[in-house]
Structure 1
């Protein structure tokens, strides 16, 4: 099917997922929504997160999306069950990489840096209980990190100082795996690698989400033909100039959209 893969996030962070999907599925067109005007979702109540997720979903469906990737940990944990019950298209969610971290840790201590909305969700706690039995999981709310990224302050001293307050206490407790539980956070990896010991493994879920997207497309006979013309459209309802900085593909259309 030539219809696009729809992807939405609370902001530009979801482009980290978009890149993985685009690279793994080069013949697929994509339609990406960055709801930066309402970022971050992580501090909002569940009802508001659900309302925003429905709004984003219905726009993507109106534009013909054949599958929707909820490229936001908070929206996945708080809204994806309702979205799957309500709409006929397949949905791909994202949640922190607790299982691979639990399998990899040597110290038995795993740090999770995520939003309040993700860490307080029942899905996160169920996943942790299922896959991290006997593992010490240190939960850290990354308050302010999404805001700084959305403000274009990724490389700022303010960002490094804030990260230090979150990361160093987890290192002191023996953490050897750091799970990034927000799609904005992979953009922090170069900074984190400069701040933490090299023997600490950083995990995110981007590639796993892309692989699951491919699997679901194949299962539902939704893959685009390899002869299809590919079109990538990415929209922000706040700052298209900033969004463009996170989109390396010159042929992609990046624009402001009031949605």
Structure 2
């Protein structure tokens, strides 16, 4: 039965597990397969052609595992490759992109910040999203070095705090009232970010929205898994699984394999 086939997710590394957690929380009956392409992280400084090639490779791996839907749990891959993926493969794709729209619509100061990778901020899809909100000042900041530190398990380090302060303080000075996290790695930095920005600034990431969109697509395609019993959560990585295991330490049904 196609209903019990897994949901596939891929990211340039461990960051997309922030999306997986939201999907698993909303859809606990669903089997999932997560692909961490950590060997090639970050995608943010690669060319569009390289990002498309890696995204196709990841997609084919998940298709070979009989996934029924694929979540591109990476902002850079979504903004640079999802159009090509949808044209090439006959499977529903769910993307993740910076949540500019809700921030722009709800901003009282008409000033919002976005912290993202170079690949996301320079993409055509991102520029189209920004162009829809000319009334709002959007302060863009590339998160140089953040993905690498997270991938190396260096979240609780002075270096990451120094980078965050350098990137966020100019946004605070520009009177932002929303901070959009435009990389699936960055939700793991929220506790650190909250130490730097004032309490009134709201932080937005895309995890919950992606989970709800996944549920909607599964219902629409009539492939929602409504069977009772334990679901299986399988994680693949082509790098050291140590950081991935630490982030997912509370999951009892996680299996780790190299690909």
Q: Which TM-score band (shorter chain)?
A: over 0.9
Q: 1:85 aligns with which of 84, 87, 110?
A: 87
- Could you say which residue in structure 2 is the equivalent of 1:125? 127
**Equivalents in 2 of 1:25, 1:255: separation in Å?**
21
**Superposed displacement of residue 246, structure 1:** 1.4
Any idea what SS the aligned residue of 2:112 has? strand
- 1:1-259 map, 5 Å: 1-130=3-132, 132-227=133-228, 229-258=230-259
Any idea what SS the aligned residue of 1:226 has? coil
**Equivalents in 1 of 2:253, 2:45: separation in Å?**
31
**Equivalents in 2 of 1:26, 1:187: separation in Å?**
21
**Superposed displacement of residue 146, structure 1:** 0.1
Gaps of 5+ in 1: none
**Superposed displacement of residue 250, structure 1:** 3.0
**Equivalents in 2 of 1:38, 1:174: separation in Å?**
36
Aligned-CA RMSD value: 1.0
**Superposed displacement of residue 228, structure 1:** 5.3
Moved over 2 A (4+): 225-229, 248-254
Gaps of 5+ in 2: none
**Equivalents in 2 of 1:205, 1:254: separation in Å?**
26
**Equivalents in 1 of 2:61, 2:4: separation in Å?**
18
**Superposed displacement of residue 103, structure 1:** 1.6
Alignment TM-score, normalising by the size of structure 1: 0.97
**Equivalents in 2 of 1:212, 1:38: separation in Å?**
27
**Superposed displacement of residue 226, structure 1:** 2.7
